[in-house]
Amino acid sequence: MTDTVKITFLGTCSGTEPEIGRHHTSFVIENQGKLYWFDAGECCSYTAYLGGIPLPATEAIFISHTHMDHIGGLPNLLWTLNKLTNVSKDDRAALTDRTIEVVIPDLDVWDGIIKILAGTEGGFRARFQLHAQRCEDGIIYDQNGVRVAALHNRHLGDAEPFQSFSFRVDIGSKCIVYSGDVKGIEDFEPLLDNCDLLLMETGHHKVEDVCHWVKESGKRIDQLVFVHHGRAILEDPARELNKAKEILGDMVSIASDGMMLQL
């Protein structure tokens, strides 16, 4: 029997100037005592650690694309994991000789992150290993009862090599789909069959347009949660939620930083 799937939103803002109470996009899924990160916007490790999320349980990190509002916190996340091995005996035991998977669309950007970390104290000689792979269409992770599939989208164009991806996460009977940033919701429509939770960005889309698409799609989508907020939600979330509920009712909500869901 699959344990409860817990999703915590660490950052829910699109790539705007700093916003009070919101950081750039990141969320973490917890299942069977293991952590799976999706995007790593600013302060994600800070928010997670102070929120009691056990960072040393990190198994994998998935990056939808390498814009700063999705990776700005990634070097600090890795640095924080290493720091914890230096200050906590339990965390050192949990991370020593472990391998953390990192899936990212651009390995040149990953090389830059590693160079940043090499410039910090001690040259980032971590007790754990990092295994980076380039994100591609298809199954990109299948371990510990967690399967992650990626599908490229048109946010950064549709020419190979693809640089922007949407994700489907299957854990037992539960399915979570994360849009990433997309040109249109049809970009990741093939991932949406029998979806328990759709996490859809609003940085480039109107909530009413997304809601109408969901209503008319014929897809089984049980919950819709808006993330990666654009100006409309940032200016008046209550107004935008009312628009959405008029179309889809109580199945729709708007994520805030620190918000937690369980499936």
| 32-38: average pLDDT | 97
CA distance 92 to 75: 19
Give the pLDDT band (50/70/90) at residue 121: confident
Give the model's pLDDT for residue 222.
98
Give the model's pLDDT for residue 1.
43
Hey, what domains does the chain have and what are their CATH numbers? 6-262 (3.60.15.10)
Closest CA to 177 of 70, 80, 38: 38
CA distance 36 to 41: 14
> Token pair of 122, please?
């001690």
173, pLDDT greater than 50:
yes
> Token pair of 114, please?
């590693």
| 99-119: average pLDDT | 97
pLDDT digits (tens, 9 = 90+) for 191-205: 999 999 999 999 999
Residues 6+ apart with CB under 8 A from 115: none
pLDDT digits (tens, 9 = 90+) for 2-19: 578 999 999 999 999 999
pLDDT digits (tens, 9 = 90+) for 203-236: 999 999 999 999 999 999 999 999 999 999 999 9
Closest CA to 254 of 239, 171, 19, 155: 239
